[in-house]
Chain A
Amino acid sequence: MSLAAQNLSLSLSGVPLLDGINLEVKPGQITTVLGPNGAGKTSLLRVLVGELAPQAGSVTLSGRDLKSWSPVQRARMLAVLPQHSLLNFPFSAAEVVMLGRTPHDTGAVYDRDIVHQTLKAVDGDYLAQRFYTQLSGGEKQRVQLARVLAQIWEPSSEGDRYLVLDEPTSSLDLAHQQMTLDVVRNLAQKGVGIMIVIHDLNLAARCADQMLLLQCGRIVISGTPQDVLKPENIHSVFQVDAHIGRHPVSGTPLVIT
């Protein structure tokens, strides 16, 4: 069982955005999607979570067509963190995280406890009573992360859980980037399948079980970070000369440009 895409193709207004993509996000594994601007990373994400309908191919969640699940069933298995947030109403941070419990009917007391735990997990317990509209960009991003965590914090009777993140670290400082990776890795250890669209190759290398390198809507190469992060691959996709070192502690590839 997995969150999987078979032979996806997508074009909008005649412009091809995705072409023949196959992808499987497995429970307990972290899949990172990399590529230059306009490579189709966000399009792939949006097709995978059902926001865009592909012209060809299909998306399955736990073995069933994504669309065949009811909205609530799907929300109990699949949480999505978008890149930008539109929220401009003065909810408190805790209330925003509480919205993540919308698909569940576990009761307010129980949900408040989960809100507390998830805010703590993103180093945001001190934000709980602050107004979302008055937070900094990085704080907002962490509160939104806590919201999607709250949505899939506990195993679902429907099936395996998946978390899809679109550049979750884009406005975070160094410490909170690391924290986000830790949170995501912990979730994966609990059996959640994770897909992250990310720009930072080294952050991706630190957490990925599987890496996809996207260019012009096609997967150029996929595999472990060691397989994917090679100078020739990076040159052909990003047109950048890079050296590959090794992280002194974790042993993962380190891209030096």
Chain B
Amino acid sequence: MRLLPPTRLIFILGLSLLPLLVIALMMGPVVISPGDLFRAAGAALGFSGSGMNAQEGLILSAIRVPRVILAGMVGVCLAVCGTAMQGLFRNPLADPSLIGVSSGASAGASLMIVLGGGALLQSGQFAGLSMVALGAFSGGFLAVILVYRLATSTTGTSVVTMLLAGIAISALAGALNSLFSYIADDEMLRRISLWQMGSLDAANWPRVWIATGVVTVLMILLPRDSAALNAFLLGESEARHLGIAVELVKRRLILLTALAVGTSVAVAGTISFIGLIVPHIIRMLIGPDHRYLIPGSALAGAILLIVADAIARVVVAPAELPVGILTALLGTPFFFSLLVQKRKFEEH
């Protein structure tokens, strides 16, 4: 079934991004009025900054704006990499965690939390990233490289072996994670479990720049493999007979996913669900052509995470919910309604 022409969906998503950005910037423990928002935008662009509350201006520039941008970037990474993995594995149920990146990152983060205890966590910073974030990125990347190497022989990379290796590495990382949790004290334990729920509350400008850089690389390189991903859906040898350099494409997709998901886990913890469901939903709406699926998923992933994060900030204010809880809470009903509609469609 297809509910929409692909270009129309991308147009609608692109159009709704801007108003959603504005609303997301307004929402939070301190609500910022639209008027203040425009004054702040004017001030940032060099017009007169009069009449703007200094505190609200600071909240916007130091907290709200980087956070909303980071949410968008992380959403893009997760959704687009989910699309790539579902294409590579020819399975609409695949997601980036399948190749071990999420569990590897969790183990890396837990290790750092347990090792760091107090002092290291406070002082150890590198380019705006905490040691925990660096541990997460390294753990995730290492897990993917291990999975890839295990599945690669002289005859090429076996996707099936990669799947099995991913499960094995995830189990290993899960065991390490449990071990670190076991030896952690109560404070560390809480940090570990909060980290695993995913949150954007550590957003700052350095993180925004890193994530933006990664998204730029991802969105320049990945769409070039759209035709290859389409051919992959026919089967690996069919793709080869259609002139696709299969092994190169596989390596590129794996590395890009490790980089992008590793980065997003490092800056925002593990946010499940987006990588699995967003590409799935977009495919249901516009069909499996990756030339549209990749940009469509990118926009939808950004929107879902921006909206979920905005709600996470206000729903239990002045505290906030981990956003990973909300992505699933928000996306699942929508996904269910699509499933029901799809069934109705197929009965006719």
Q: Which residues of A contact B (CB under 8 A)?
A: 49-51, 53, 71-76, 78-80, 82, 85-92, 95-96, 99-100, 102-103, 131, 151
Contact = CB atoms under 8 A, between A and B. Distances in A.
B1 A90 contact: yes
B238 interface: yes
B234 A99 contact: yes
A151 B287 CA distance: 22
A100 B238 CA distance: 10
Of A90, A96, A131, chain B has the most CB atoms within 10 Å of the CB of: A90
B240 A86 contact: no
B238 A75 contact: no
A86 B234 contact: yes
Contacts of A91: 233, 287-289
Given A82-B238, A99-B234, 13 more contacts: A49-B241, A51-B237, A53-B155, A71-B243, A79-B241, A82-B237, A85-B234, A86-B234, A87-B235, A90-B1, A96-B234, A102-B230, A131-B1
Interface string B99-137: 000000000000000000000000000000000000000
A49 B238 CA distance: 11
A13 to B, nearest CB: 13
Interface residues on B, range: 20 to 34
A193 B243 CA distance: 19
B224 to A, nearest CB: 13
Interface in B215-254: 227, 230-231, 233-235, 237-238, 240-245
Interface in B160-219: none
B243 A102 contact: yes
Interface in B262-280: none
A80 B241 contact: yes
A78 B234 contact: no
Nearest to A78: B241
A102 B233 CA distance: 13
Contacts of B283: 89-90
Contacts of A100: 242
Given A51-B237, A82-B238, A99-B230, A89 B288 contact: yes
Interface in B281-300: 283, 287-289
Given A82-B238, A102-B231, A71 B287 contact: no
Nearest to B246: A71
Contacts of B235: 82, 85-87
B243 A76 contact: yes
Nearest to A72: B243
A25 to B, nearest CB: 16
B90 A75 contact: no
A80 to B, nearest CB: 4
21 contacts: A51-B237, A53-B155, A71-B240, A71-B243, A75-B242, A79-B241, A80-B237, A85-B234, A86-B90, A89-B90, A89-B233, A89-B288, A90-B1, A90-B283, A92-B287, A96-B234, A99-B234, A102-B242, A102-B243, A103-B243, A151-B242
A72 B240 CA distance: 9
Contacts of B238: 80, 82, 85-86
Q: Which 6 A-B pairs have the closest CB atoms?
A: A75-B243, A103-B243, A72-B243, A89-B288, A86-B235, A102-B242
A51 B233 contact: no
A13 B233 CA distance: 29
Nearest to B242: A102
A184 B242 CA distance: 20
A50 B237 CA distance: 10
B49 interface: no
Contacts of A88: 90
Contact of A89 (B92, B155, B241): B92
B233 A75 contact: no
Contact of A90 (B231, B240, B287): B287
B227 A102 contact: yes
A95 B289 CA distance: 9
A102 B288 contact: no
Contacts of A90: 1, 283, 287-288
Given A88-B90, A91-B288, A71 B245 contact: yes
Contacts of A89: 90, 92, 233, 283, 288
A131 B1 CA distance: 8
A103 B230 CA distance: 12
A89 B89 CA distance: 12
Nearest to B237: A51
Contacts of B289: 91, 95
A151 B230 CA distance: 15
B60 to A, nearest CB: 43
A102 B242 CA distance: 6
Contacts of B230: 99, 102
Nearest to A147: B234
A88 B288 CA distance: 10
Contacts of B90: 86, 88-89
B156 to A, nearest CB: 11
B243 A74 contact: yes
Of B155, B238, B240, B289, chain A has the most CB atoms within 10 Å of the CB of: B238
